[in-house]
Amino acid sequence: MACHAFVIHIAVQTPLHSNVGGLLSYTHGHALPPGTLVRVPLGQRELLGVVWESVPAAHADLPAGVALRPLAQVLDALAPLAAPWRQLVAFTARYYQRSLGEIAATALPPALRKLSNAQLLRRLQVKKKAAQTVPEQEKLVALTAEQQSVISQIEQNCGPFLLYGSTGSGKTEVYLHTVAAALVADPQAQALVLVPEINLTPQLLARFERRFAPTLGPQAVASLHSGLTEAQRLQHWLAAHTGQARIVLGTRMAVLASLPQLKIIVVDEEHDPSFKQEEGARYSARDLALWRGRDAGAKVILGSATPSLESWYACQQGRYQRLDMPSRIAAAALPGVHLVNMRQQPKSTVFAPALLQAITERIQRGEQSLVLLNRRGFAPVLWCGDCGWKSDCPHCSAHQVFHKGERRLRCHHCSASQAVPRHCPHCGNPDILALGHGTEQLQEALEQVLRNVQRPDGKPARIGRMDADTTQGAGQLQAQLAHIHDGSVDVLVGTQMIAKGHDFRRMTLVAAIAPDAALMSTGFRAPERLFALLMQAAGRAGRDAAFVGQQGSQPQMWIQTQQPEHPLYQALLHHDYPGFAQQQLHERQQAGMPPFVFQALVRADAKTQDAAQNFLHAAAQHAQSLPALVGVFLYPPIPMAVQRVANIERAQMLIEAASRSALQKFLHAWQPLLHPLKKQHKTVVRWLVDVDPQNL
Ligand SMILES: Nc1ncnc2c1ncn2[C@@H]1O[C@H](COP(=O)(O)OP(=O)(O)OP(=O)(O)O)[C@@H](O)[C@H]1O
Ligand SMILES: [Zn+2]
């Protein structure tokens, strides 16, 4: 008996939905500090878990007849995860309606699951010996007046701050300075810097390393993102947990890192939708950063040239402090915006002649242009003019996209692919047409029309492309970015991935080829997203005032549209984010949409649409008996916009409340009723709750 004197409650990731609040109990000879990592048996397997609390067996209040199993192993090579980290995990689980164990497992590096205590100990020792080269100290630039003023505001106030700074206004320099100030003020302090996309990490990482590694050592800056190997991710996570890493830079997953001395958090491009995790635990890294900062007493700086309407509104309410940097560095001009009325162009026009002329002149002068189209592949659909056949995905309610280079049709929802048919599979017609355009086709078209255009060195123009298809392989992304920076690409065709964050120095023209498609989209966030995308894209042009001046060039943003009079484009014409935000917030308030209401979505996936909707109807029925339903509105279940994916029918039900706490209270009361419901609806494959959903 003495050897099992304590019952230890452990956060473990159990099979989905089987255990809601999710602590499992085991026995151990003595109490363990909360946050200790352990390995526990579950069925036939052994899983990683985190100690939540230890209770003397005599007081454990267990149901009679339950025999607990002992812990398998205590990983005490590692210091326990600190209380603030556990609070963050607990908050995330509670707020996003997940189990503690799932969030803890999401937050820990996967490699930890496989290591024994002895192996872990070895890792910790090896890591200390690892020698790395220290980059050369970067030369410090003189701060602009706007940068100075913002930095001193951050020093003197608590925040949270919204750094509303123009594209190319030097926000990165503000981050570097405020991080440096926090690290100097406290020799143990740690900083967390979040970026939306993995493709933005290499250059920012290099920047932080050049600034900090010479003084703090090569291991002071660590990165956390999905592009790391399991071994790297473990090593970087350990560096953060042990305090050796003073700065952790990463994508949304980094917000859950163990940072025992966290003093400052930066969320760059805070408006970006990628901060929201869209599968598993659907958390918003930006929102968690704000919670974590408040809880840990760390300053939080959100930065953007096109803030989210949520953050903009929070400033208006006085919840965040807004700091402005309206000017670009070295008085560089924002690009002049040209709206091309495509109603006045022949129907088949892909590039307006005036745009091609402007691109041609830039190639001849040795400047770069960026051509933006948010659709990869060659054409979104193949079509037979004789019988009306279309390249529909057999498994999804979507077309399969034509990828010409690969000679395949590929579904962007389920990844199913097949060879491109030579004849119409229905009627045998050999003339199948590619409808619409993707980035692959634009690249081919530009290679064709610009084939006789020469660069200043007499060589033919080079057309590059960057999208999810060209950047899959290891190192491809960095290699392609390097080509753009060293000037070996003259025109770059790409999707939204190249439109934001990058500091391209030789780019003087950006063109959005067919942005109207996004205007037709039904989601209420579509205008906000489109405006941000276009303004960010425009922000890639003319960043280097000296280069523009020496070239005698003019930075330009071209927009090809059927609706030049649309208020969104008119606001863009004047780079008027505040005007656009005001108009959008007004509309949202009138229509009762976020940030004026709070939303959650329940989704059900099933073999048939009826089954999915029936589950949601039953869920709504169960809600009627709950007192917490007061002030909460349940909309009727509807099919999702893409109704079927991989042969699974999907339905959703929107839940709305005027206050966050009313919504949370309701979800907490309701969720326990939904778990048993799944058992009654056998054809429901899965269901999930998405709190503060971004895609409606
Ligand atoms: N004080 C300064 N003096 C000279 N150059 C500066 C200064 N501050 C920043 N820069 C340079 O200005 C350029 C733009 O800065 P940065 O990339 O930080 O812009 P940003 O505000 O993050 O823009 P975006 O929102 O488009 O990402 C960079 O090349 C940076 O090195
Ligand atoms: Zn499919």
Q: What is the structure's pLDDT at 482?
A: 86
Q: Is the pLDDT of residue 66 over 80?
A: no
324 lines ligand 1 (CB under 6 A): no
Rounded mean pLDDT, 53-75: 83
144 lines ligand 1 (CB under 6 A): yes
Q: Is the pLDDT of residue 478 over 90?
A: no
For atom 14 of ligand 1, the residue with the nearest CA is 168
CATH topology of domain 333-376+438-590: Rossmann fold (3.40.50)
Tokens 């091309």, residue?
A: 340
Q: What is the structure's pLDDT at 484?
A: 87
CA distance 525 to 502: 24
Q: Is the pLDDT of residue 339 over 50?
A: yes
CATH superfamily of 598-691: ACT domain (3.30.70.260)
495 lines ligand 1 (CB under 6 A): no
For atom 3 of ligand 1, the residue with the nearest CA is 141
SS3 assignment, position 591: helix
**13 C-alpha to center of ligand 1: Å?**
43
The model's confidence at residue 17, banded by pLDDT at 50, 70 and 90, is very low
Q: Is the pLDDT of residue 567 over 60?
A: yes
Contacts of 669 (CB under 8 A, 6+ apart): 626, 627, 628
Q: What is the structure's pLDDT at 472?
A: 80
**476 C-alpha to center of ligand 2: Å?**
26
Binding site for Zn(2+): which residues?
Answer: 384, 387, 393, 396, 411, 414, 424, 427
Select the more confidently predicted residue: 487 or 612.
612
For atom 31 of ligand 1, the residue with the nearest CA is 170
Domains 145-329 and 333-376+438-590 share a fold: yes
What are the backbone angles phi and psi of residue 403, rounded to the nearest 5°? Answer: -110, 105
User: Quick one: DSSP state of residue 107?
Assistant: H
Tokens 């809600």, residue?
A: 623
CA distance 186 to 686: 47
503 lines ligand 1 (CB under 6 A): yes
**401 C-alpha to center of ligand 2: Å?**
10
**Worst-scoring range by mean pLDDT, 151-165, 261-275, 676-690?**
676-690
CA distance 168 to 165: 8
The model's confidence at residue 596, banded by pLDDT at 50, 70 and 90, is very high
The model's confidence at residue 518, banded by pLDDT at 50, 70 and 90, is confident
501 lines ligand 1 (CB under 6 A): yes
Q: Is the pLDDT of residue 634 over 80?
A: yes
**639 C-alpha to center of ligand 2: Å?**
17
Q: Among residues 122, 118, 168, 172, which one has the least CA distance to residue 150? A: 172
Give burial (CB, 10 Å; 0-12/13-18/19+) of 71. Answer: buried
The average confidence (pLDDT) of the chain is 91
Q: What is the structure's pLDDT at 1?
A: 44
Q: Is the pLDDT of residue 454 over 70?
A: yes
Q: What is the structure's pLDDT at 16?
A: 56
CATH superfamily of 2-129: PriA, 3(prime) DNA-binding domain (3.40.1440.60)
Q: Is the pLDDT of residue 310 over 50?
A: yes
The segment with the largest mean pLDDT, out of 137-141, 202-206, 323-327, is 323-327
Give the Å distances, CA to CA, from 147 to 91, 172, 176, 494, 498: 35, 10, 11, 32, 26
For atom 12 of ligand 1, the residue with the nearest CA is 170
**463 C-alpha to center of ligand 2: Å?**
31
Beta strand 556-561 pairing with 507-512: parallel
Question: Which of 138, 169, 535, 575 should be mutated for ligand 1, with most atoms under 8 A from CB?
Answer: 169
Rounded mean pLDDT, 507-511: 96
**330 C-alpha to center of ligand 1: Å?**
10
**Worst-scoring range by mean pLDDT, 87-101, 150-164, 488-502, 599-613?**
488-502
Select the more confidently predicted residue: 483 or 155.
155
Q: What is the structure's pLDDT at 2?
A: 46
CA distance 40 to 72: 5
Per-residue model confidence as pLDDT tens digits over 654-683: 999 999 999 999 999 999 888 889 889 888
Q: What is the structure's pLDDT at 103?
A: 93
Count helices and strands in the chain by DSSP H and E runs:
19, 28
Tokens 């020792």, residue?
A: 125
Q: What is the structure's pLDDT at 258?
A: 97
Rounded mean pLDDT, 542-547: 91
Give burial (CB, 10 Å; 0-12/13-18/19+) of 343. Answer: exposed
537 lines ligand 1 (CB under 6 A): no
Select the more confidently predicted residue: 471 or 176.
176
- Ligand lying closest to the C-alpha of residue 647: 2
For atom 4 of ligand 1, the residue with the nearest CA is 141
Question: Buried b vs exposed e over 127-145: b needs ≥16 C-beta within 10 Å?
Answer: beeeeeeeeeebeeeeebe
Tokens 């770069």, residue?
A: 368
- Ligand lying closest to the C-alpha of residue 412: 2
Q: What is the structure's pLDDT at 14?
A: 76
Q: Is the pTM of this model over 0.80?
A: yes
CATH number of 145-329: 3.40.50.300
Enumerate the domain spans of the chain: 2-129, 145-329, 333-376+438-590, 378-436, 598-691
The model's confidence at residue 42, banded by pLDDT at 50, 70 and 90, is confident
SS3 assignment, position 233: helix
